[in-house]
Amino acid sequence: MTKHDEELLTRVREMRERGSAPKQIARALGLRPAQATALVRRVAEAAQAHTAPDERPVVGCWVNAGWSAGLDMARAPDWAAADRLARDPDSETGGFAQVLLARQERASKVTVTGFLVDVYCLGVKNVTGPEVMGSGSLAGYVPTYYSAFDHPPLSIGVEQAQAIVHDAVAHARSLGFEPAADFAGAGVHLGAPPGDRPTIGFGKDGKPFYFSGPYDDPRKVVRTLERTCGTGNYHYVAHL
């Protein structure tokens, strides 16, 4: 980039900060409208690149319907009310919260990050992304991400997503379990939850409940629960 280009970008940045539109910038700097628009885009992308991942605008946030079945939601009544499937006695959706978050990356790009959360016991078991995609691809990505569920996902606020993920991690750690290895890198896109937020009682009906998955070491998990919770203070279904 030449010195002239740097000076031009600086002037465009200053004018944008004062609220000038691309057409006003073009007239003031003697540029063609297309040139001014391209420079405005470059300024915006440069500013976005220096913005922390969790400070970028939220484009959308979702969780699977029925995620809160079996949890103590007394201190989060609004979240519980929105999850009507959790109150269906025939529903078998409890135990996992699949959280998806999309943040603005650049003008036409979004960053998508997903978290598979065992809300009864193990916390974050798997992370997807962060993945950068075109903004237009998001509408097709969301139903694909939730294709294993019979019901469409619930649209939620980012504070709810933060509480589900981070508080489930804290609960799992209290039982002796760490989140998935790539959680730290993905968690910065989610951001930390505020202190004054609704709280969720994890575990099924008040106790840790472990249901073994195909990639678990069930004997190790049960031994850990025995050590941290004590006999009779947890439940499990596992092939030992």
CB 137 within 8 A of CB 160: no
- Whether a cis peptide bond, with omega within 30° of 0, leads into 130 is yes
pLDDT at 13 over 80: no
More confident call, 205 vs 238? 205
Instruction: Give the mean pLDDT of 213-239.
Output: 92
CB 159 within 8 A of CB 189: no
* Lowest mean per-residue pLDDT among 32-36, 169-173, 213-217: 32-36
**Helix, strand or coil, per DSSP, at residue 143:** helix
| The predicted structure's pLDDT at residue 46 | 64
CB 136 within 8 A of CB 168: no
Residue 84 exposure: Cα atoms within 13 Å on the Cβ side: 2
Q: What are phi and psi of 178, to 5 degrees?
A: -95, 155
**Cβ contacts of 234 within 8 Å, gap of 6 or more:** 121, 207, 208, 209, 210, 225, 226
* Lowest mean per-residue pLDDT among 18-32, 124-138, 152-166, 226-240: 18-32
CB 83 within 8 A of CB 102: no
Residue 165 exposure: Cα atoms within 13 Å on the Cβ side: 34
Tokens of 214: 């195909």
β-pairing, 209-211 vs 235-237, is parallel
| The predicted structure's pLDDT at residue 138 | 95
Give tens-digit pLDDT for 160-200: 999 999 999 999 999 999 999 999 889 889 998 878 889 99
Residue 22 CA to residue 150 CA, distance in Å, equals 46
The DSSP secondary structure of 173-219, one letter per residue, reads: HHHT-PPPTTHHHHHHHH-PPPSS----B-SBTTB-EEE--TT--HH
| The predicted structure's pLDDT at residue 223 | 96
Is pTM beyond 0.85 here? no
